[in-house]
């Protein structure tokens, strides 16, 4: 498809935008025109007939661990809370190879694309011997599939021998981590509104890295002008660990390490108190809400409405496929909606809130204001859903139906003005072959 050619996405069944009842015009990877009710484009354009489609801004996934698709529903990790769950999985993840990672990443990104996700992060922090170029592998897959990415160079340097959870075989020393962080930023990080690949720095968590590494990473991120990411306030176990190890709560520790600022977005954010939420809001630090993972591990429920009232931006993340067991962002929208509706009631959480978290809210998490919204000048990243399944029959409001009736698969997905999903499939991807090879790699890892 020629990106210089204007395309009118014409007369959608519904669209998540005001003043675009007759659709939008995209050109050069951007939205160049909204077509109002009764109007026609002023830009000469070919058209895509969207009368059967509900059009959303492309969904943005703000937290994931792609490699975990290789350890879904692992028997040894079932029915465990976070710390024992990690202890069951780390020895398996230590067997990760470059070929297995390529397959895990390909499967995760494909699943995300098919769910309407156009931009995804990943938090890769396990580096057994031979996997030193993990981020490079992820970049190659993203370019192959055409998905926009913010890949985080994760890290762990506190292993079991010095009070951490991971085995020695998956951690690296601080000098190696910082040197490779600089390398991957220099090699892969793109700047500007059209960037397709960006890099952030992401020590795994307060209980798997040293204070020295946390501080050095913050300094390096400022020097390189890239974003920062980590897990925080996911469980009460983490609170206790921080208090015992560092003599303070996780957010205090984060601030001491130079992380409490607008460069940082955090995964989970379940166990902050009211005063801490205000501090997060003042610092412009954002939160990735991972509803499915939090429920599966019984970690708790992120207080999203209280966070937003305190000025904290909220995005959505599917989290790793060993704690979510899926990489479907549209399903995550519904899960977040239901979880927060149950917590706050019908007057405080609507289906449009959940869609906002997955689009504009997530765009704030990844520092990309040009994403997550259907408006002139924004990126032409779009997810188009049909309502022709049994689950949607009888619907009244098409936008509400996506969330309430459980949409899970996009019919068309556009990234930077290019179709990357057509008729519910990724062109050129042999799904059956991918499943066969991915399943074989998963089995080899799990049995050792």
Q: What is the pLDDT of residues 74-93, one digit of tens each?
A: 999 999 998 899 999 999 99
**How many whole angstroms separate alpha carbon 361 and alpha carbon 61?**
10
Mean pLDDT of all residues in the chain?
A: 96
pLDDT in the model for residue 32:
98
pLDDT in the model for residue 64:
98
Confidence of residue 206 (pLDDT cuts 50, 70, 90): confident
**How many whole angstroms separate alpha carbon 213 and alpha carbon 129?**
20
* Mean local confidence (pLDDT), 51-74: 98
* Mean local confidence (pLDDT), 326-335: 98
Strand partners, 229: 265
Exposed/middle/buried for 343, CB within 10 Å: 0-12, 13-18, 19+? middle
Whether 415 has a pLDDT exceeding 70, the answer reads yes
Confidence of residue 138 (pLDDT cuts 50, 70, 90): very high
Confidence of residue 162 (pLDDT cuts 50, 70, 90): confident
pLDDT in the model for residue 1:
62
**How many whole angstroms separate alpha carbon 391 and alpha carbon 417?**
30
Confidence of residue 361 (pLDDT cuts 50, 70, 90): very high
Strand partners, 152: 123, 200
* Mean local confidence (pLDDT), 334-338: 98
Please write the tens of the pLDDT for every residue from 253-304: 999 999 999 999 999 999 999 999 999 999 999 999 999 999 999 999 999 9
Beta-carbon-side half-sphere exposure of residue 226 (alpha carbons within 13 Å):
25
pLDDT in the model for residue 211:
96
**How many whole angstroms separate alpha carbon 199 and alpha carbon 194?**
14
Residue 268, φ and ψ in degrees, nearest 5 = 90, -75
Confidence of residue 3 (pLDDT cuts 50, 70, 90): low
CA distances 219 to 172, 246, 256, 411, 425, Å, are 19, 20, 12, 43, 43
Extract the tokens encoding 378. 């924004």
Confidence of residue 166 (pLDDT cuts 50, 70, 90): confident
* Mean local confidence (pLDDT), 315-336: 96
Kind of pairing between the strands at 148-155 and 117-124: parallel
Nearest partner of 102 among 110, 112, 90, 92, judged by Cα: 110
**How many whole angstroms separate alpha carbon 120 and alpha carbon 109?**
8
**How many whole angstroms separate alpha carbon 233 and alpha carbon 276?**
11
pLDDT in the model for residue 272:
97
- Among residues of the chain, what percentage have pLDDT more than 70? 99
Nearest partner of 57 among 350, 366, 381, judged by Cα: 381
């Amino acid at each position: 498809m020629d990106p210089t050619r204007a395309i009118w996405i014409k007369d959608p069944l519904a669209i998540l935008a005001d003043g675009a009842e007759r659709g939008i015009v995209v050109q050069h990877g951007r939205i160049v025109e909204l077509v109002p009710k009764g109007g026609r484009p002023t830009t000469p354009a070919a058209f895509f007939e969207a009368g059967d489609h509900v059009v959303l801004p492309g969904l943005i996934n703000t937290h994931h661990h792609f490699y975990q698709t290789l350890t879904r529903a692992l028997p040894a990790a079932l029915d465990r809370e976070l710390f024992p769950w990690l202890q069951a999985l780390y020895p398996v993840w230590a067997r990760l190879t470059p070929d297995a990672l390529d397959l895990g990443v390909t499967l995760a990104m494909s699943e995300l694309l098919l769910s309407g996700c156009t931009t995804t992060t990943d938090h890769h922090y396990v580096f057994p011997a031979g996997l030193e170029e993990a981020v490079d592998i992820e970049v190659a897959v993203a370019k192959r599939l055409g998905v926009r990415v913010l890949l985080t160079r994760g890290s762990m340097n506190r292993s079991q021998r010095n009070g951490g959870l991971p085995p020695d075989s998956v951690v690296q020393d601080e000098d190696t981590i910082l040197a490779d962080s600089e390398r991957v930023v220099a090699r892969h990080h793109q700047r500007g509104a059209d960037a397709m690949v960006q890099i952030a720095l992401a020590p795994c968590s307060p209980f798997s890295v040293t204070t020295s590494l946390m501080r050095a990473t913050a300094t390096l991120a400022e020097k390189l002008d890239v974003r920062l990411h980590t897990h925080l306030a996911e469980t009460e176990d983490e609170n206790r660990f921080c208090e015992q190890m560092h003599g303070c709560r996780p957010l205090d520790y984060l601030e001491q390490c130079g992380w409490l600022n607008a460069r940082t977005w955090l995964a989970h954010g379940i166990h902050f108190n009211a005063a801490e939420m205000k501090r997060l809001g003042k610092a412009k630090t954002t939160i990735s809400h991972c509803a499915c993972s939090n429920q599966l591990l019984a970690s708790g429920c992120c207080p999203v409405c209280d966070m937003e009232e305190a000025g904290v931006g909220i995005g959505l993340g599917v989290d790793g496929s060993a704690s979510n067991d899926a990489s479907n962002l549209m399903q995550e929208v519904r899960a977040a909606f239901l979880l927060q509706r149950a917590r706050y009631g019908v007057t405080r959480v609507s289906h449009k809130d959940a869609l906002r978290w997955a689009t504009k809210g997530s765009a704030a998490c990844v520092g990309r204001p040009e994403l997550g919204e259907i408006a002139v000048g924004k990126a032409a990243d779009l997810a188009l859903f049909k309502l022709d399944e049994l689950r949607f029959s009888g619907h009244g409001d098409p936008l509400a139906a996506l969330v309430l009736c459980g949409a899970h698969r996009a019919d068309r997905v556009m990234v930077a003005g290019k179709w990357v999903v057509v008729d519910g499939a990724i062109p050129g991807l042999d799904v059956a072959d991918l499943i066969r090879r991915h399943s074989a790699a998963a089995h080899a890892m799990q049995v050792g």
